[in-house]
Amino acid sequence: MIEGVVITSLKKIKDERGTVMHMMRRDSSIFKNFGEIYFSLTYPNAIKAWHMHKEMILNYACIEGEIKFVLFDDRKNSKTKGKIQELILSPDNYFLVTVPPLIWNGFMNVGKKNSILANCSSVPYRDDEIIRRSPFDKFIPYKWLNIK
């Protein structure tokens, strides 16, 4: 587990009409501030990586499909510097991943249908607040499987 990353179990309430999937409450110990919420739809086998936020706290939950979510820690003073962490997120494996600033992260849709990843971020998106790298950048020692 990468230092500062928090995994929180989330509640689902099912009945004959469908399912309510909880994600974030302002009285949760995880909640810091509301910036914005958005949904990232990803096609099967597509990769959205790598990015690192300078200020933003990410709060991800997968509400549709299946996502392989990968984190890389290159923070100077972190106990987990150089470590990779992989997680599988889906409605069947439903939890919140809270990612502090300065941790590289990205994800791949590993399912057979479109996936939807929700993010309730701590600050609104700004172009000057994010750093991006190619999914195949050798700076991050990770190989996305099944990709040619």
**Cα three-residue angle 99-102-105, rounded to 5 degrees:** 55
Quick one: pLDDT at residue 148?
Answer: 42
Q: Which two tokens stand for residue 49?
A: 């990586």
Mean pLDDT value across the chain: 95
Quick one: pLDDT at residue 145?
Answer: 77
* Of the candidate ranges 17-31, 66-80, 134-148, the one whose mean pLDDT is the lowest: 134-148
Alpha-carbon Rg for the chain in angstroms: 15
Q: State mean pLDDT over 17-34.
A: 93
Cβ atoms within 10 A of the Cβ of 71, count?
26
Alpha-carbon distance of 61 to 91, in angstroms, equals 9
Q: How far is CA 109 from CA 13, 26, 81, 88, 93, in A?
A: 25, 29, 26, 10, 14
Q: Are 89 and 96 in contact (CB under 8 A)?
A: no
pLDDT tens figures, 115-143: 999 999 999 999 999 999 999 999 999 99
What are the residues facing 89 on neighbouring strands?
67
pLDDT tens figures, 33-65: 999 999 999 999 999 999 999 999 999 999 999
pLDDT tens figures, 77-113: 999 999 999 999 999 999 999 999 999 999 999 999 9
